[in-house]
Amino acid sequence: MSFRTIEWRDNKVVMIDQTRLPAEEVYNEYDDFKGVAEAIRGMIIRGAPAIGVAAAMGVALGAREIIADTHESFFKQLDNVCDVIGRTRPTAVNLFWAIERMKRVAQSNRHLDIKSIREVLKAEAIRVEEEDLEICRAIGRNGAPVIKEGAAVLTHCNAGGLATAGYGTALGVIRAAHEAGKNIRVFADETRPWLQGARLTAWELMKDGIPVTLISDNMAGWFMKKGEIDCIVVGADRIAANGDTANKIGTYSVAVLANENRIPFYVAAPISTLDLSLDTGDDIPIEERNSQEVTHVQGVQVAPDGVRVRNPAFDVTPARYIAGIITEKGIVRGDYRRELQALVGE
Ligand code: MRU
């Protein structure tokens, strides 16, 4: 891939600014954890696994900023750093997964001096990033066989290199099938209101030379009905114990339409996106965002002043519509409650 989503460089966190793509390829540098928290909230970096990497790096930056004479003071301030980062976006569980991982590592190194704990946290954040890339490649390898030679694959939102440390989850499966020479084509839903499909998925697939056709969200059902879509692969923000999956708003409609048209609908996600503490998708917190994302398109107002707006950023697809959940450890199918539990228990 010819871009870097996020990296730790010279004790700064560097991210490609996703609010400015595809018009401009700009990299922002952060040397304070509050800047990273704002970048997550403002969707300069977005996509569940990438949010997890940013959170880990934010905690490592925060640890460097703390001024403390005692371990007690250091750990108290570190908790505050974690709380600030944890309040940015509520749905993608990878955020909380990464924060908990960083807290655990800090605690298990409590016997070290503060300077060394900072170093351990930095190394751990870099490891989260490196592992995510490996995990995406494994998801790609495991998922590629579900995509048939010559298939047209529809995806929603952006679950690509930009949403991860690189390579992607849903787009990882698509990349792996493309690399295997399967001659596939992608249909990308534009994904209103934030246009992740139009702005990001189309951009990164074109950069990699993977054939992509952009459609507006309301066209997906029609193309399915006409037999022009063979398979659907999307990412996930949080998967409950029964397999119900939260992903970008509009995913549920795609899944229902896929089911109606007997098209297999797959979810591709790392194990860090599972939240088996939640019984069903009803328990997943859904972020509601700014009304301006709906009333405006790229800064241009398209609705009357003062109109009432709702803007949930995610929806939940019931597990019964999902043909399989593609993870780094393999594809889970059928009895999700049992199979997901078995997967994490391994
Ligand atoms: O609001 P976003 O852009 O962070 O939402 C992203 C999605 O819904 C993705 O599909 C999901 O995080 C999976 S990314 C590999």
pLDDT in tens, 214-261: 999 999 999 999 999 999 999 999 999 999 999 999 999 999 999 999
- Tell me: do 182 and 91 sit in the same domain: no
Angle 183-185-186 from CA coordinates, rounded to 5°: 145
- Tell me: do 22 and 119 sit in the same domain: yes
Domain count along the chain? 2
Per-residue model confidence (pLDDT) at position 49: 98
Domain residue limits at 263: 143-345
Share of the chain above pLDDT 90, in %: 99
Tell me whether residue 322 is in a domain: yes
**How many Å lie between the centroid of ligand 1 and the Cα of residue 195?**
11
pLDDT band at 83 (very low <50, low <70, confident <90, very high): very high
- Tell me: do 178 and 240 sit in the same domain: yes
- Tell me: do 211 and 115 sit in the same domain: no
Lowest mean pLDDT among 282-291, 324-333, 337-346: 337-346
**How many Å lie between the centroid of ligand 1 and the Cα of residue 45?**
10
Task: Give CA–CA dist 37/86, Å, rounded.
Answer: 8
Q: Measuring CA to CA, how many Å separate 33 from each of 39, 49, 80, 84, 301?
A: 10, 18, 11, 9, 33
Query: What CATH number is associated with residue 66?
Result: 1.20.120.420
Tell me whether residue 42 is in a domain: yes
Which of 133, 248, 252, 315, when mutated, tests ligand 1's pocket best, judged by the most ligand atoms within 8 Å of its CB? 248
- Tell me: do 105 and 26 sit in the same domain: yes
Segment 30-58, tens digit of pLDDT? 999 999 999 999 999 999 999 999 999 99
- Tell me: do 33 and 118 sit in the same domain: yes
- Tell me: do 203 and 127 sit in the same domain: no
Segment 261-313, tens digit of pLDDT? 999 999 999 999 999 999 999 999 999 999 999 999 989 999 999 999 999 99
Per-residue model confidence (pLDDT) at position 153: 98
Tell me whether residue 151 is in a domain: yes
**How many Å lie between the centroid of ligand 1 and the Cα of residue 262?**
25
Query: What CATH number is associated with residue 286?
Result: 3.40.50.10470
- Tell me: do 77 and 211 sit in the same domain: no
- Ligand 1 contacts (CB < 6 A) are 46-49, 92, 157, 159, 163-164, 169, 196, 235-237, 247-248, 313
Domain termination residue (choose one: 89, 105, 137): 137
Tell me whether residue 317 is in a domain: yes
The ligand 1 atom nearest the CA atom of 247: 8
- Tell me: do 130 and 242 sit in the same domain: no
Q: What is the mean pLDDT of residues 153-172?
A: 98
Segment 164-219, tens digit of pLDDT? 999 999 999 999 999 999 999 999 999 999 999 999 999 999 999 999 999 999 99
The ligand 1 atom nearest the CA atom of 156: 10
The ligand 1 atom nearest the CA atom of 51: 4
pLDDT band at 107 (very low <50, low <70, confident <90, very high): very high
pLDDT band at 2 (very low <50, low <70, confident <90, very high): confident
- Tell me: do 229 and 290 sit in the same domain: yes
Instruction: Check 132, 189, 217, 237 and give the catalytic one.
Output: 237
Domain termination residue (choose one: 117, 137, 157): 137
Alpha carbon nearest to ligand 1 atom 10, residue: 235
Tell me whether residue 1 is in a domain: no
Share of the chain above pLDDT 70, in %: 100
- Tell me: do 202 and 269 sit in the same domain: yes
Residue 275 among the catalytic residues: no
**Which ranges of 114-212 does DSSP label H, i.e. alpha helix?**
114-143, 170-179, 196, 202-207
Per-residue model confidence (pLDDT) at position 149: 98
Strands 324-327 and 330-332 come out as antiparallel
Domain termination residue (choose one: 113, 137, 161): 137
Tell me whether residue 318 is in a domain: yes
pLDDT band at 81 (very low <50, low <70, confident <90, very high): very high
Backbone angles phi, psi at 12, to 5 degrees: -130, 160
- Tell me: do 214 and 299 sit in the same domain: yes
